Structure 1
Amino acid sequence: MKQFINPATLVILLAFFITACGDKKDDQQQQAPPPTAVSAIKATKGSATYYDEFPATVTALLEVEIQPQVAGNITGIFFQDGQQIRKGQKLYTIDAQQYRAGYDQAVANLNVQKANLNRAQKDADRYNTLAQQDAIARQVVDNASATLEASRMQVEAAQANIRQVATSLKYTTIYAPLDGTIGISQVRLGAAVAPGSVPLNTISSDNPIAADLQVDAAEIPRFLKLQNQKQVGRDSTLVLVMPDGSTYKYPGSVRIVDRAVDPQTGTLRVRVAFPNPDKELKVGINANLRVKNNTGQQQLLIPYQAVTEQMSEYFVFVVGDSSKVTQKKVTLGARINDKVIVKDGLKEGEVVVTEGTQKIREGAKVQVTSK
């Protein structure tokens, strides 16, 4: 015999089934996800000693171009290219024959003028004696006096000419104006030279030597302070980093802070001097100047990896009550190795997430695995 289910009973069973399924789904939705495992560390204060780096170019403190002062042919070169030279050392000679002949002629002309002066003086003396006796016309006396004065002026002109010719003769031998290193000669024996032509050579001082750098106007007080400081021993405030990454063994000192800021770049040139006894530094080397920055105060430091950047702003995740994280905006200072100074936005002792930031968001619950 066939059995039939009451339609009312069927409706009740269906409603019960739907309700049971709905309750199960609500339970699944209300179940919270497990905390995200992260690493975190407390923000602490520490020494804020770090270095800023500035591009620098090695340059000579003193550099002189050797220019010919007279025209002629090079008759002697008395050094080796690249040699260390001393002030007053003979470098070049220029053919002096024409200048020596000119000097001899000038001396002979002076002697002639002195003889003329002597004769004019005697004539003037004699005519003045006759004039006192009223034995000669006054015009003759006046002419004799004028001749005497002209002779004196001709002697002075001859003496000036001798000085000029002697100077030219002197310039035929060129001496080193300072101690330093001389470069490669731009002329060879027999070459014709003249004033205003290409320099014969260049001499630069090399111990001490300098490094020039351009600093922002905001850095001026810092470098003025360094300029006024006295270094003690092997101070590491100013260190030169060579092109191969090695550090130069001698520390530097601020020698010159330029007089004015470049209005186009807003920068100021600073010259830092370095000892160079081994001639390791050469003019023109491009290097970096590492400048120690020690505020003398403890600064709040956190690992740099804890920082995330969004639209040129910096944030960290801080673990708060109930192990929930809050994202905080921070203002950063200088980076010191793997840490960074936090100037604002964070307090000492707050727990900052260092690993796992990519897996969490605002308000997420975390499980800190290390602090």
Structure 2
Amino acid sequence: MIPTQFSYPKMGLLPRLAAIGCAVALAGCNLQAEEEAKPPRQPTEVGIVTAMTEDVPLVNELAGRTSPFETSEVRPQVSGIIEARSFTEGAFVKKGDTLYQIDASLFEASVAEARANLESAKAGEDNARIEFERLKPLAQKGAVSEQAFTDATAALRSATAAVAQNNAKLQTAEINLRYSKVTAPISGRIGRSLVTTGALVSAQQTQALATIQRLDPIFVDIQQSSTALLKLRDAMASSELSKDTAEVRLKLEDGQEYPLPGKLQFTDVTVNPSTGSVTLRAEFPNPDAILLPGMYVRAVLSQTQAKDAILVPQQSVTRSPTGEASALVVGEGDTVQRRALQVAQAVGNRWLVTEGLAPGDRVIVEGVSKVKPDDKVKIVDLGKKQTAEATENKAVPAL
């Protein structure tokens, strides 16, 4: 027996669409109810600093080399054989210390001869003066000829001149004798001796016996490009910058900072045609002789300062793929806004902002990645927070 097949009545298209619409509407009502049931979103907490104006020294780091404050090449002023050397190489010598002794026997003999000649000339002068004094009253009375008195007068003058000549020769001989001791012309550290005892030296020689350098204080010659110098002068002329007399600091070859500050002395008036740079000279105290002539150093100096400048922490500034700088600020109603910035240079861990910010703007420093423009935020003033923490730390008694 064949089973009977049943068929269900077919539903039309419009009833089906109506059923689907009812289902969608019911789901939407449920979602809206869930959203209304959720608590409102809380504003994101961000840390801000308030932009303020200040005068900022603009620091440049330039290459330089040290050079001695004074340099003297020791040379003999008389000829002779070196008998002794009286210093230790590399030691500190004072002005006037004896460095070398040249054989003085010939100079001592010259002094003795000059002294004897002077005594002889003085004796001749005394004799001529006695003759002049004897003939003078006789000539006034006409008892002697006028020619005899004239000869006596001339003889006295000649004898007096001879005394002066021999006196000068004695002084020359004594000077040469004194020069047989080669002394230090300046105080400082003396280098190695280029001659030994027994060497023949002469007054006209070009080779120095040794070199003395005064290292305290010491100079640092700094090179700055002429282009940078012209930009600096233009900025100062436009009153954007003011001249600064801040200290100069040094970084040594190993990266360490030299502990004592220096002062900028002068800027050279000529440009080196081969390098296009201008030389600046700074003076540094060097009591422990840490700095030696010829050392390569980095000079950190402030030639100018920007007046009424705005500085912001570097972490508050972001850059687009094209390199444009911007920052997030908190505007009216604690709403986030994005500001395009113009930054000039880094000053420590902050950026010097020339355009885009005004005094009083609240710049977001912490939580930059958590918010976007038009978001509502809850601000925490980091400047006030740091001040409060410092006050609390001072109030804590020492254990």
| TM-score of Structure 1 vs Structure 2, range by shorter chain | 0.5 to 0.7
Residue 332 of structure 1: which of 329, 343, 366 is its match? 343
Which runs of 5 or more structure 1 residues have no equivalent in the other structure?
1-39, 228-236, 357-364
The match for 1:306 is 318
Residue 255 of structure 2: which of 245, 254, 261 is its match? 245
Spell out, residue by residue over 1:80-125, the C-alpha distance to the aligned partner (whole angstroms, 9 max, x if none).
Answer: 1101222332111122222211111111111111111112112222
Match of 2:324, SS state, is strand
The match for 1:76 is 84
Residue 293 of structure 2: which of 283, 298, 302 is its match? 283
For residues 44 and 192 of structure 1, the distance between their equivalents in structure 2, rounded to whole angstroms, comes to: 78
- Does 1:104 find its partner at 2:112? yes
Contact 1:302 / 1:342 at 8 angstroms: preserved in 2?
A: no
Residues 279 and 326 of structure 1, relative CA distance in 2, 3 Å threshold: closer
Residue 91 of structure 1: which of 95, 99, 102 is its match? 99
Q: How does 1:49-198 map to 2 (within 5 A)?
A: 51-196=59-204, 197-198=206-207
Spell out, residue by residue over 1:296-342, the C-alpha distance to the aligned partner (whole angstroms, 9 max, x if none).
Answer: 856243648834697xxx6236789xxxx9995x5432213564322
Q: Which amino acid aligns with 1:254?
A: K
Could you tell me how far 1:295 is from its partner in structure 2? 5.5
Q: Which amino acid aligns with 2:251?
A: V
The match for 1:267 is 278
Contact 1:223 / 1:257 at 8 angstroms: preserved in 2?
A: no
> Which stretch of structure 1 is more off in the superposition, 48-57 or 80-89?
48-57
Match of 1:165, SS state, is helix
Could you tell me how far 1:208 is from its partner in structure 2? 3.1
Match of 2:325, SS state, is strand
For residues 355 and 77 of structure 2, the distance between their equivalents in structure 1, rounded to whole angstroms, comes to: 65
For residues 327 and 225 of structure 1, the distance between their equivalents in structure 2, rounded to whole angstroms, comes to: 31
The match for 2:24 is none
Contact 1:331 / 1:342 at 8 angstroms: preserved in 2?
A: yes
For residues 251 and 48 of structure 2, the distance between their equivalents in structure 1, rounded to whole angstroms, comes to: 34
Contact 1:332 / 1:341 at 8 angstroms: preserved in 2?
A: yes
Contact 1:127 / 1:141 at 8 angstroms: preserved in 2?
A: yes
For residues 127 and 104 of structure 1, the distance between their equivalents in structure 2, rounded to whole angstroms, comes to: 35
Contact 2:344 / 2:352 at 8 angstroms: preserved in 1?
A: yes
Could you tell me how far 1:189 is from its partner in structure 2? 1.3
Q: Which amino acid aligns with 2:252?
A: M
Match of 1:301, SS state, is strand
Which runs of 5 or more structure 2 residues have no equivalent in the other structure?
1-45, 330-336, 380-399
Could you tell me how far 1:281 is from its partner in structure 2? 1.6
For residues 291 and 192 of structure 2, the distance between their equivalents in structure 1, rounded to whole angstroms, comes to: 18
Contact 2:220 / 2:283 at 8 angstroms: preserved in 1?
A: yes
Residues 171 and 307 of structure 1, relative CA distance in 2, 3 Å threshold: farther
Residues 72 and 225 of structure 1, relative CA distance in 2, 3 Å threshold: farther
Residues 308 and 100 of structure 1, relative CA distance in 2, 3 Å threshold: farther
The match for 1:226 is 245
Contact 1:75 / 1:93 at 8 angstroms: preserved in 2?
A: yes
Q: Which amino acid aligns with 1:213?
A: I
Residues 63 and 327 of structure 1, relative CA distance in 2, 3 Å threshold: same
Could you tell me how far 1:166 is from its partner in structure 2? 1.1
Could you tell me how far 1:226 is from its partner in structure 2? 2.4
Contact 1:224 / 1:257 at 8 angstroms: preserved in 2?
A: no
Q: How does 1:207-222 map to 2 (within 5 A)?
A: 207-215=216-224, 216=229, 218=232
The alignment-based identity, stated in percent, is: 24
Q: Which amino acid aligns with 1:249?
A: P
Contact 1:59 / 1:284 at 8 angstroms: preserved in 2?
A: yes
Q: Which amino acid aligns with 1:287?
A: V
Residue 45 of structure 1: which of 29, 51, 70 is its match? 51
